[in-house]
Amino acid sequence: MKITIIYDTKTGNTKRMAQAVAEGAEGFEGIEVIMKHIDDASPEDLLSEGLVIGSPTYCGLMTWKLKKLFDESVKTAWGKVDGHIGAAFSSSGGLGGGNEISLCSILTSLMNYGFIVFGLTEYAGRGVTAHYGAVAVGDPGELEVKACRRLGEKTAEYVSRMFGGNRKEE
C-alpha cells in the first residue's frame, strides 16, 4: 500500500506541512510513504491507496499546477481509485484568506476521482483544528504541524482499514 503526498509550495510553508503529513503517515506496516513536489508528480501517483494534496492558497483554490495534474490524469487514474483515501492541506497568507476554501477545491477533485475524503474532528491544541484538512496562516506553528502529522496518521489508519493492512507498530 502506498500513501502519496503531493504538494506545491511558494514560500516553503506548504512544503513544511507536507513533511509533517509524511511523518504522521510513516511507521504503518505495509504502507510506503512518498512525498513529491508537484513538478515531480505524474498521473500514476494518483493511483495510490492514500493521496494527500497540499497547496498554497492561490485565489482561494489549489494552484494551477496541481489542477493541471488532476486534469491530465483522467485517463490514467479517474474512476480507478474508488474507495481510496484522500485528504488535503493548505497554507494561506492570512486568516480569512481562503485556506479552507482551497481545501474544498482539493477535496472536490479527489471526490471526483473516486476518493473518499475526510478531516479531523480533534483539535491539535487550543484554537487549531483540521476539520476539512490541515491549514496554516503563514509559517506553520507547532499546533499546525501537529495537525498535519495527525492528518497523515489518520490517512494511514484509514488506508489500513480499507485495504487490509495492519495498524501502526507501537
Contacts of 138 (CB under 8 A, 6+ apart): 13, 91, 93
Q: What angle do CA 140, 19, 64 make, to 5 degrees?
A: 80
Asked if 158 is part of the footprint of its own copies (rule: CB under 8 A), the reply reads yes
CA-nearest of 73, 156, 53 to 113 is 73
Report the residue from 26, 47, 97, 168 that binds its own copies according to the rule CB under 8 A.
Answer: 97
Smallest distance from its own copies to CB 37, Å: 17
Give SS3 for 70. Answer: helix
Asked if 165 is part of the footprint of its own copies (rule: CB under 8 A), the reply reads no
Report the C-alpha gap between 131 and 135 in whole angstroms. 10
Asked if 100 is part of the footprint of its own copies (rule: CB under 8 A), the reply reads yes
Annotate each residue in 46-75 with x if it binds its own copies (CB under 8 A) or - if it does not, as one string.
------------xxxxxxxx-xx-xxx-x-
Please give the torsion angle defined by the CA atoms of residues 12, 76, 33 and 64, in that order, rounded to the nearest 10 degrees.
10
Report the residue from 26, 34, 36, 104 that binds its own copies according to the rule CB under 8 A.
Answer: 104
Binding-site ranges for its own copies (CB under 8 A): 58-65, 67-68, 70-72, 74, 78-79, 82-83, 85, 93-101, 104-105, 108-109, 111-119, 121-123, 127-135, 137-138, 144, 147, 154, 157-158, 161-162
